[in-house]
Amino acid sequence: MVQSEWESCPNCGMNVSADAAVCTNCGMPLEAVPMPDRTRVATGMTSFMDETATFVPSVPPAPSAPAAQSPPPVVNVPAPAPQPEPPHDGRHARGAGKAVIITAIIVAVVIVIGTVGGFIWNRRHQSELAQARESCNAAVRELEDQYAATQREVDEAHELETLSADDVADEDTVKELKDAIDRYHKLSGDKSGLTCAADAHKDVLDYVTQQARSRADAQRKDAQAVAEAAEAVKASRKAQQKADEQAADAAAEEKRKQEQQTAEEEARKAQRTNDDQESTTSSTRADGENINGDWLSYPKDGKREYINARYGFGVRIPEDFAIVTPAPDNGDGRTFVNKDLDMRITVSAMHNVLGTTPQQQLAMYKSDHDVSYSLVEGDVMVATWAQDGDVHYVREVIGEKAISTIELTYPETNHASCDPILEETAPTLTAPYAHGGADR
C-alpha cells in the first residue's frame, strides 16, 4: 500500500487527502512514499519468540546453583526511509513577500497611530495647562482685588480703635474690634508669595490657585468679623451719645426745677408779707367780726369760727392764722395763713351744677394730681398728694346744690408741726348752707 507522508501542502499549508498527487490549492506535486511492512515485522517477531521459548519446570532449581537466564530476543526494525524536501518554486517566494508587506503595513499603522495619539495628547496637555494658568491668574487677581477693597474697610475701622471708654456704652466692643483687626492682619491680610509663573507646571498652577482661593476665603471671613465689630462699636458709641444727651437733659430739667422751686419760694415769702400787710379786721361785734360780709368769731379755746355769707358753710380756724384780705370778688371763701409755719388754709364753695358725686370729685383730683391717699365716706371726699415739696390736703363736703372745700398746704419739712393742725381743722368743715347762706 502506498501512502503520502504529507498531511498538508508544504508550500501553501492547505490540507490534502492522503492519496493526492498534486495540491489542489497551489498545484504543487506531492510524491508518495512507501510505508514499512508492519505486518511482516510483527510476524517475524512472533516466529522468533516461538523458536527461543523454553519449558519452565514446576519445581524451582536448587538455590546453590541458580539457572542462567536467557537474553531477551532482539527485534530488528528497519529505519524509516529518508523524507524528500519539498521543492522550492515561485509560489513559495510570493507567499513570503506577501507576509513582509503585511508586516510593513502593520508597522506603518502603528507609527501613524502613535504619532496622531501623541499630537492629540500634546494638544490636550497644552489646553489643560492654559486653563490652569488662566484659573491661577483669576484667583490671584481676585485675592488682590479683595484685599484692596477690604483694606479700605479695615483702615476705616482703625479710626474706631481710638475711642475711649467714655465714648462708648460698652468698652468691650472696642477691645473686640482691636482683636479682629489684629487677626485680620496676621492671618489673612498678607497676599504675597502667590504668582502664576509662565513656565510653571500644571500641578504648580493648581496649587497656587488653591492657595489663592483659600486665602481669599479666610480674608473674607476675617474682614467680615472686622466689619461686624466696627458696627458694634458704632452702635455702642451712638448709645453712649444718647445717654449723654439724656443726662444733659436731665441735668437741665433738674436745674429748671430748682430754679422754679426757688422762684416759688420767693413768691410764697412775698405773699406772706403781703398777707401780713393786708390782714385787717372790719367792724366788730360782741362775739366776732364782720369781714366783708363773712363772719369770724373771736378766739375761743384757741379757735375762731369762720362762716361764709354766700354759701353758709363754716370751719374752725386756729387763732394764730391771719385772714388774708381783700376777699375774692365772688365771695366764695377766704384764705388764712401762718407765716411761722408757712401754712395756708383756704376755704371755699361752689355750685354743684352737674350734680357731681364724691366719687367723681375724687376721680377728678386723681387725674390732675399724683394722689397718695384718698377717702370717700358718705358725702365727704378726701385726697392728699405732694407737689414741689409741699403737702396738699383737700376735704370736700358734696351737697346737692353746692360743694364746700377746705385745702391745707404746708412744706413737707414742717409736717410734724402742721399735721396736728390739719387733723383738728379739716373735720370742722360743714356742708354748704349749714348756716344759711345768701345763695340758698
Q: Is a pLDDT exceeding 50 seen at residue 371?
A: yes
- Does CATH number 1.10.10.10 belong to domain 285-428? no
The per-residue pLDDT for 193 is 66
Q: How confident is the model at residue 174 (pLDDT cuts 50, 70, 90)?
A: confident
Interval 217-243: pLDDT, tens: 888 888 888 889 988 988 998 898 889
| Secondary structure of the chain as H, E, C letters | CEECCCCECCCCCCECCCCCCECCCCCCECCCEECCCHHHHHHHHHHHHHHHCCCCCCCCCCCCCCCCCCCCCCCCCCCCCCCCCCCCCHHHHHHHHHHHHHHHHHHHHHHHHHHHHHHHHHHHHHHHHHHHHHHHHHHHHHHHHHHHHHHHHHHHHHHHCCCCCCCCCCCHHHHHHHHHHHHHHHHHCCCCCCCCCCCCCHHHHHHHHHHHHHHHHHHHHHHHHHHHHHHHHHHHHHHHHHHHHHHHHHHHHHHHHHHHHHHHHHHHHHHHHHHHHHCCCCCECCCEEEECCEEEECCECCEEEEECCCCCCEEEEECCCEECCCCCCCCCEEEEEECCCCEEEEEEEEECCCCCCHHHHHHHHHHHCCEEEEEEECCEEEEEEEECCEEEEEEEEECCCEEEEEEEEEEHHHHHHHHHHHHHHHHHCCCCCCCCCCCC
pLDDT range class, residue 85, cuts 50, 70, 90: low
Q: Give the pLDDT mean for 154-170.
A: 83
CB 142 within 8 A of CB 212: yes
Considering only 3-7, 95-99, 116-120, which range has the smallest mean pLDDT?
3-7
| pLDDT for residue 381 | 97
Residue ranges covered by each domain of the chain: 1-53, 132-278, 285-428
Segment 119-154, tens digit of pLDDT: 898 888 888 888 888 899 898 888 878 777 787 888
Grade residue 277 by pLDDT with cuts at 50, 70 and 90. Answer: very low
The residue-averaged pLDDT of 96-117 equals: 88
Mean local confidence (pLDDT), 22-44: 58
pLDDT given at position 235: 92
Torsion over CA: 59, 63, 65, 68 (sign): positive
